[in-house]
Structure 1
């Protein structure tokens, strides 16, 4: 709805079946010098053609031939929820004006007791009050969304099961859908009783609540497998069967990266299912871990192999696991995408100690968004792990 201040015209719809009363309203508006575009309708049915977005105010008689009680008021509220409503009543039924305000109108006027100045003032007041009410409503909606997001975060995003004080852990999650907390990406971190550390990050194809639900289901299923002391070689096949047998109306798959660290943190076994490998963060020496061997994304084939890659780790290390939403954005040069190589180059440009800053992951996502020229459309999950032998 446009702002009528500064000389812009008020768009007003007058719904009044009495020709004389309608003529009087026109005269009063002319007397007040209010800049208006007035549309007159005798009935609710005739008014429907004028009740459209952009209307600032509706002057509504409650005694109309085709509406009983507050039917006319409810119709106007439904068709133009952003318009202010001024109810016109007779002296004998002024109480109905009070009831109409309680039912959603901004104010009421008694016929025969209104001059041009009072009518103009009432219209201005009602339009501004409606605008304030709409602003407060949006604030309440935003507060409710924030409360719901907080509940979702506590219930759906994982709390790592980690006892080793030598392991540093950080994560960030930014879903691609507006006003949503959890998307189709998922991650988890679990330390077994023997000290073996299991890490998972994955990405369900597609966007929406169904994909988010499957991501949560896969994460919970994987954690159950770890706690049940399932061998790592059997974990990805089990998750693959979970997707294959899930009753989805369309094909859906998930890419996954799973790391299994030895208790001394000197060796890691890497399992890739169509997912990019982690990146070792070491300033100019930053690089990706090997992409091969790897297997297909989960949910495509009934049976497949996901071989392990055994990797030796340095005495101290920092790894970053991520989903493809982080590197699928643009670089600011036409349609060119950042890509995995571009992400590695971006990380190499940062000092080695940058990864220890509390807001490092947020700064990285913001930097990628700046290159993209705006918010990233895909979900982004980041999981940063570091090992310091002397940490307690």
Structure 2
């Protein structure tokens, strides 16, 4: 015989969260109209009365399943598919087809609630199966009393919390693995086979928990031995800007391998941007360098982007010339981007970067690091003997420290180096 359950009482909702002193709330779902639990009082671990709500079917249960409910007690004898006004005999065909249909529905409408099931003692096998389906525990009608029920509710609530925490941990690990695979696919693999140049890069998106921002870079070597490098920055920090940055990088690589360079390349990239950008206000800055096969000279094109920094043995690092640069891509139709010839020498390092590295603040004021501050910082690290990956890591770390925390803008830094043998 189903356990009688008291009619719903007009009890104010309980508070939830750490330090709450209110009692637990139990929602009982059973379809016997007799009413009245045989247990006179149910207390929680602190001696507070556990509040009871009752529902005769799943429709009522869904209505009463408010956030302050801590646990659900379901009578396994409840017919599957019992809705508002359903009697105890309805849905018998569904119950035969799926004896846990009602439990599955409760688990669907209450995914974050602890669920207990109630059944007879001679149905222990079915009760155990209900736990495998998703219930936290089962109770037998003949053994039910206030002490046992209150303890079962507490344990079920804690087990549900532990299950949710474990699920979130597993989900976080899976997301981290997926992000690592996605990052390997989206960030470029430099194509430098046959070149004596050394390559290093650092990338840090500015958006919280973002995988990629609007900054992008790439490096390839064409069949004639020329090494082409690029770094760019799409204005904005959303996923649309990140996607556009990836599109521009892929387009740059394809066009470069097809033989385009300098003004012709940038003009074609501007056409790509104009077609792919989500709105006309979006633009992108770009810096491209093409290093001759002998490694001693390069061509430089700037499209509204900061000039690269060059360092040579025995001389302080300095910015490459940036006069007469062209506008950012997407700002002016039929714009031109002059290519400037630069002498590199025998042994050198060339650093390309986005403005996220130089726009961080210095201390508590409004002063920014700026290009001059960046040059001083790089020279200090060079004097300490840093190079390659170590130089980039130290520079990004110091920029974050000077900013007093994470940099708000995306940061990309590329370092190409050559040592004359």
Q: What is the TM-score with the length of structure 2 in the denominator? A: 0.78
Asked whether the equivalents of residues 149 and 180 of structure 1 are also in contact (C-alpha less than 8 Å), the reply is: no
2:335 alignment counterpart: 304
Q: Which residue of 1 aligns with 2:297?
A: 267
How far 1:240 sits from its partner (Å)?
A: 0.6
Does the 8 Å CA contact 1:12/1:59 hold for their aligned counterparts?
no
CA contact under 8 A between 2:25 and 2:68: conserved in structure 1?
Answer: no
Aligned positions of 1:229-268 closer than 5 A: 229-246=259-276, 248-249=278-279, 251-268=281-298
Would you say 1:107 and 2:137 are equivalent positions? yes
Could you say which residue in structure 1 is the equivalent of 2:393?
Answer: 362
CA contact (8 A) 2:213 2:410 kept: yes
Correspondence for 1:316 among 347, 350, 354: 347
1:259-298 to structure 2, matched below 5 A, reads 259-281=289-311, 285-298=316-329
Q: Is the 8 A contact 1:184 1:212 kept in 2?
A: yes
2:355 matches 1:341: no
Q: Which TM-score applies when normalising by structure 1?
A: 0.83
- Do the aligned partners of residues 140 and 387 (structure 1) sit closer, same or farther apart at CA in structure 2, a change above 3 Å counting? same
Match of 2:411 among 373, 380, 390: 380
Distance in 1, matches of 2:379 and 2:52, equals: 65
Q: Could you tell me which residue of structure 2 aligns to residue 130 of structure 1?
A: 160
Alignment of 1:80-229 (within 5 A): 81-91=111-121, 97-164=127-194, 166-229=196-259
User: Which SS does the other structure have where 1:142 is aligned?
Assistant: helix
SS state of the match for residue 26, structure 2? Answer: strand
Name structure 1 gaps, 5 residues minimum: none
Residue by residue, what CA displacement relative to the aligned partner does 1:249-290 show, whole Å, maximum 9, x if unpaired?
A: 553221111011122222222111111111235799233223
Q: Distance in 2 between matches of 1:33 and 1:24?
A: 22
**Cα–Cα, structure 1 residues 158 and 113, in superposed 2: closer, same or farther, change >3 Å?**
same
Give the drift of 1:236: 0.4
Q: Deviations over 1:171-211 (max 9, x none)?
A: 12222344443332211111222222110011122234333
2:29/2:61 contact within 8 Å kept: no
Residue of structure 2 equivalent to 1:332: 363
Aligned partners of 1:260 and 1:269 also within 8 Å: yes
Q: Structure 2: how far apart are the matches of 1:224 and 1:372?
A: 37
Question: Does the CA contact (< 8 Å) of 1:51 and 1:76 recur in 2?
Answer: no
Q: Secondary structure at the match of 1:325?
A: coil
Partner of 1:12: 25
Q: Counterpart of 1:27 in 2: which secondary structure?
A: coil
Count of paired positions: 387
Q: Which has the larger radius of gyration?
A: 2
SS in 2 for 1:285: strand
CA distance in 2, matches of 1:342, 1:74: 63
CA–CA separation in structure 2 for the residues paired with 1:84 and 1:139: 19
Contact 1:254 1:297 in 2 (8 A): yes
In structure 2, distance between residues paired with 1:85 and 1:365: 50
Work out the CA distance in 1 between the residues paired with 2:175 and 2:127. Answer: 34
- Per-residue deviation, residues 327-377 of structure 1 (Å, max 9, x unmatched): 333333144443333333433332435432644423432332333333333
Task: Answer with 253-262 or 362-371: which moved more.
Answer: 362-371
Counterpart CA distance in 2 for 1:371 and 1:274 is 26
Q: Indicate how the Cα distance of structure 1 residues 250 and 302 shifts in structure 2: closer, same or farther if over 3 A, else same.
A: closer
Give secondary structure in 2 for the equivalent of 1:169. Answer: strand
Q: Distance in 2 between matches of 1:367 and 1:83?
A: 47
The 3 A distance-change label for structure 1 pair 313 and 225 is same
